[in-house]
Amino acid sequence: MAYKVAVFAGDGIGTEVIAEALEVLKVVEKRFSLAFTCEKALAGGCSIDAHGVALTDSALRVANESDAVLLGAVGGPKWDDPKSTVRPEQAILGLRKELSLFANLRPIQVSRHLINSSTLKPEVLQGVDLIVVRELTGGVYYGKPSERRMGASGREAVDTIFYTEGEVARLMRASFELARKRRKKLTSVDKANIMATSRMWREVSHEVAKEYPDVQYEDVLVDAMAMHLIRRPKDFDVIAAENMFGDILTDEASMLAGSMGLLPSASLGEGKKGLYEPIHGTAPDIAGQNKANPLAAILSTALMLRMSFDQEQAAQAIEKAVDDVLASGYRTGDIAQPECRLVSCTEMGKLVREQLQKQ
């Protein structure tokens, strides 16, 4: 089988971790008789430097013509001027919009090899296997008005949360479908005691739930969810949330796994095409030093193989290779423990490839 992958390495450690992910794909290509045509394009700060915009039309065309998109991360202090109208994150928003990606999936599993390096107790983490489905195209990130202005008593600012029932229903259907393939439990997060959008979210979710009587469904208020996630994370299977609640909860949930450098994500729409990226940013504090953990980017390729290409065997092979490397005690700085063997970004990538070849 042959697949076209659009590759946006982006800025900072994005370029370092995507380089390792692409090397892993080369090994997968040989082992599983697949063919990947990887076309690279600029997105984010590097595109602003080269073309004056975060994403050009030709870069969008590369994404449009691909079967899946692999992205590193964009942004950094160089492009951080708050007054600038051209900003690196416009690239990600542009790609999501162009490809109609409305559901961001973030699976969180706690590796048994890393359980002791977490700030949480091992007995809380043992067996955690959940996935957060975050709505990606609505809510406060897109609602209008969103502005500052001068009012009668001085500075004022306003943001708007807006959702249509269609946006809620498609996100909930995607979440129910996912729950059906897993442990058949879905938790919907809202703030229905306060917000009108949340009350509609809950109403529509209950309507959709009737189509999935085999899935156990519950509503949880977002403030309580923040607490439950660190008190009893293993009770959750699929968690569905609107854009901002999902954004905050996924960063909280990432700490269950120990580091952002371990967690992949998938952004999906109605079809098979998806955008796959590590959940972390460009890490300017370690960029260019060969210190980044490439595992989140490598595991993002596993998600791509599973969700966009239906290559489950290849996806599992990558996940097993990562697990084997961690079992052997190799760690990048972000997950280092006293007794471990500290390795660089490129060394970690090479170790995963070697495991993949050995299997």
Ligand X SMILES: NC(=O)c1ccc[n+]([C@@H]2O[C@H](COP(=O)([O-])OP(=O)(O)OC[C@H]3O[C@@H](n4cnc5c(N)ncnc54)[C@H](O)[C@@H]3O)[C@@H](O)[C@H]2O)c1
- Residues of this chain that bind ligand X (CB under 6 A): 13, 17, 73-76, 92, 260-261, 277, 280-286, 292-293, 296, 332, 334
Closest to ligand X by CB, 69 vs 283, is 283
Closest to ligand X by CB, 215 vs 260, is 260
Closest to ligand X by CB, 246 vs 261, is 261
Told to judge if 190 belongs to the known catalytic residues of this protein, a careful annotator would answer no
Nearest distance, CB of residue 70 and ligand X, angstroms: 12
Told to judge if 330 belongs to the known catalytic residues of this protein, a careful annotator would answer no
Closest to ligand X by CB, 45 vs 215, is 45
Sign of the Cα pseudo-torsion (279, 281, 286, 291, in order): positive
Told to judge if 214 belongs to the known catalytic residues of this protein, a careful annotator would answer no
Whether the bond between 82 and the residue before it is cis, its omega within 30 degrees of 0, is no
19, two tokens: 């380089």
Told to judge if 26 belongs to the known catalytic residues of this protein, a careful annotator would answer no
Catalytic hit among 4, 40, 129, 141: 141
Catalytic hit among 67, 191, 291, 330: 191
Nearest distance, CB of residue 323 and ligand X, angstroms: 18
235, two tokens: 């009770």
| Integer-rounded Cα radius of gyration of the chain | 20
Closest to ligand X by CB, 146 vs 164, is 146
CA distance 195 to 41: 41
Cβ proximity of 32 and 310 under 8 Å: no
277, two tokens: 């990226």
Catalytic hit among 251, 320, 323, 350: 251
Catalytic hit among 80, 81, 159, 223: 223
Told to judge if 129 belongs to the known catalytic residues of this protein, a careful annotator would answer no
Q: Which residues make beta-bridge pairs with 266? A: 105, 276
**DSSP for residue 233:** G
Nearest distance, CB of residue 92 and ligand X, angstroms: 6
Rounded to 5 degrees, φ, ψ at 179 are: -60, -35
Catalytic hit among 67, 247, 324, 334: 247
Nearest distance, CB of residue 79 and ligand X, angstroms: 7
Secondary structure tally for the chain: helices H, strands E: 12, 14
Q: Kindly give the residue spans of alpha helices, DSSP state H, lying in the chain.
A: 13-31, 45-51, 57-64, 90-98, 122-125, 165-181, 196-209, 222-231, 243-257, 295-307, 312-327, 345-358
Nearest distance, CB of residue 53 and ligand X, angstroms: 16
Nearest distance, CB of residue 71 and ligand X, angstroms: 7
CA distance 138 to 277: 20
Q: Which residues make beta-bridge pairs with 202? A: none
Closest to ligand X by CB, 233 vs 261, is 261
Active site residues: 141, 191, 223, 247, 251
